[in-house]
Amino acid sequence: MQDCIFCKIIHREIPAEIIYETDNVLVFKDIRPAAPVHLLLIPKKHIPTFFELGPEDVMLMGELQTAAAEVARRLGLSNGFRLVSNIGRDAGQLVFHIHYHLLAGRELKWPPG
Ligand code: 5GP
Ligand code: ZN
């Protein structure tokens, strides 16, 4: 997708600190970290929000969550981590390419507000 910042990161058109990559997913550091560990997990397929997900995406979204598990193991996040997605305006979604935030490295308050 032209003009999608995350698609540009996938295609190496803008830089990012990439942590993990498969054929279908990419994990990189958030540019404005809200915790000592703050990663973004994205599918390489451009899907704007969860509202556009369909049955054809079941495997892909499973792979995305499994990537979170793999990254958490590799980084030794045994104290825990948070996996969240902001979906749509009320949740404060700013980038319209599906992503999970993986947050860790400090005690994370709940509810987030
Ligand atoms: P959202 O509110 O859509 O869930 O969050 C988007 C996230 O993307 C924000 O935490 C923001 O800091 C991050 N972000 C926005 N632009 C860039 C960028 O160019 N590079 C990286 N690494 N992160 C970005
Ligand atoms: Zn995109």
Homologous superfamily, domain 5-104: HIT-like (3.30.428.10)
Task: List residues near ligand 1 (CB under 6 A).
Answer: 5, 14, 16, 28-32, 40, 86, 92-95
Q: Is the pLDDT of residue 103 over 80?
A: yes
CB 81 within 8 A of CB 60: no
Which of 32, 50, 84 to probe ligand 1 with, by most ligand atoms within 8 A of CB?
32
CA 51 to chain CA centroid, Å, is 16
User: 96 CA to middle of ligand 2, Å?
Assistant: 7
pLDDT score for 112: 86
At residue 83 the predicted structure's pLDDT band, cuts being 50, 70 and 90, is very high
CB 25 within 8 A of CB 63: yes
Q: Where are the alpha helices (DSSP H) in 1-113?
A: 5-10, 58-75
User: What is the C-alpha separation between 68 and 100, in angstroms, rounded?
Assistant: 9
Q: Indicate the pTM of the whole model.
A: 0.98
- Residue 56 phi/psi, 5° resolution? -70, -10
Q: Tens digits of per-residue pLDDT, 47-72?
A: 999 999 999 999 999 999 999 999 99
Q: Is the pLDDT of residue 15 over 80?
A: yes
Q: Which atom of ligand 1 is nearest to the CA of 94?
A: 3
Q: Is the pLDDT of residue 2 over 90?
A: no
Catalytic (active site) residue 99:
yes
What's the average model confidence in pLDDT over 8-27? 98
Could you state, in order of their start, the residue ranges of all structural domains in the chain? Answer: 5-104
Tokens standing for 64? Answer: 């995305």
